[in-house]
Amino acid sequence: MSTATGEKEKIFRRIREALSVPAPYPGQHGAHGPNGTEHPTPVEEFSHWLPKVGDGFDARAELFARNSVQLKSTFHLLPDEAAASRTLAEIAQAESWKNVAAHGNGAAGPSTRAIVTALNLPAVWTDSGYDVREMERCDAGISECDALVAQTGSVLVTSRSAGGRALSVLPPHHVVLARRDQLLGDLPAAFSLLERKYSQSYPSFIGFITGPSRTGDIERILVLGAHGPKKLTILCW
């Protein structure tokens, strides 16, 4: 078995010895870098390099919608919860869902419960645990999210906000229930949100989901639904 402390110490010794000679700072031939490890966070700086995102909800929604088309996810911007409920029912019918998986103890628990229950389908609720094989038989997984990111068309989830680790990746169709005020501009904003919301105690899983599952491993030809969901639908109101 591993002699954990012994090996760790040896490794650290080698590291410290190696680092006793400084290496040049990038972009400045021969110069040395800043001392110490306390640096002001440059995350705001990143927004200047990354692709541009317009200001305001409309610009973000338009960008998110455009990205969704390109990613082959389906994005519905809806007026209210009733419209979301109707849209979900329409999808369930069009795809002939027999059963769904969902969670009901998220931040918008009652609303999510109501929408899922209104489908009148057998549901696997993950909140108090679930049987994997039962979830595997579900036609869809319905979850909430922490945020939508316009810059990349991504959905931000955590094990706390989206009913665990598997719900948003095992069933073949993942449906996200989001609110307008969750639509953020760019990735730096998303990471700022994570820090504000969770820095006291991070969930053990945080994930950015960008489009349905995909692969280009066969002749670089795009195929959806490699292992994760083949379909991703985002309902936002």
Please give the backbone phi and psi of residue 40, each rounded to the nearest 5 degrees, phi first.
-65, 140
Pairing of strands 214-215, 223-224: antiparallel
Q: Which of these ranges, 93-101, 107-115, 137-145, 215-223, lies near other proteins under the rule CB under 8 A?
A: 215-223
The tokens of 110 are what?
Answer: 């009652």
132 binds other proteins, rule: CB under 8 A: yes
133 binds other proteins, rule: CB under 8 A: yes
Q: Which of 78, 81, 83, 192 binds other proteins (CB under 8 A)?
A: 192
Bridge partners for 75 per DSSP: 234
Q: One symbol per residue from 17 to 36: x for binding other proteins (CB under 8 A), - otherwise; what is it?
A: xxx-xxxxxxx-----xx-x
219 binds other proteins, rule: CB under 8 A: yes
Q: Which of 31, 107, 114, 226 binds other proteins (CB under 8 A)?
A: 226
195 binds other proteins, rule: CB under 8 A: yes
Closest CB 39 distance from other proteins, rounded Å: 7
Distance of alpha carbon 226 from alpha carbon 235, whole angstroms:
23
228 binds other proteins, rule: CB under 8 A: yes
User: Is the CB of residue 196 less than 8 Å from the CB of residue 189?
Assistant: no
Distance of alpha carbon 181 from alpha carbon 174, whole angstroms:
21
202 binds other proteins, rule: CB under 8 A: yes
CA dist list (Å): 216 to 219, 220, 221: 7, 4, 5
Applying the rule CB under 8 A, the residues between 33 and 92 that interact with other proteins are 33-34, 36-37, 39, 41-43, 45-46, 48-52, 67
Please give the backbone phi and psi of residue 77, each rounded to the nearest 5 degrees, phi first.
-95, 115
114 binds other proteins, rule: CB under 8 A: no
120 binds other proteins, rule: CB under 8 A: no
Closest CB 7 distance from other proteins, rounded Å: 4
Total of chain residues touching other proteins, rule CB under 8 A: 93
Closest CB 78 distance from other proteins, rounded Å: 25
The tokens of 224 are what?
Answer: 């959806």
Q: What b/e string do you get for 116-132 counting C-beta neighbours within 10 Å, with b at 16 or more?
A: beebebebbbbeeebee
Q: Which of these ranges, 54-62, 107-115, 128-136, 175-183, lies near other proteins under the rule CB under 8 A?
A: 128-136
Applying the rule CB under 8 A, the residues between 158 and 187 that interact with other proteins are 159-160, 163-167, 169-170, 186-187
Q: Which residues fall within 8 angstroms of residue 106, CB to CB, at 6 or more apart?
A: 112, 143, 144, 161, 162, 163
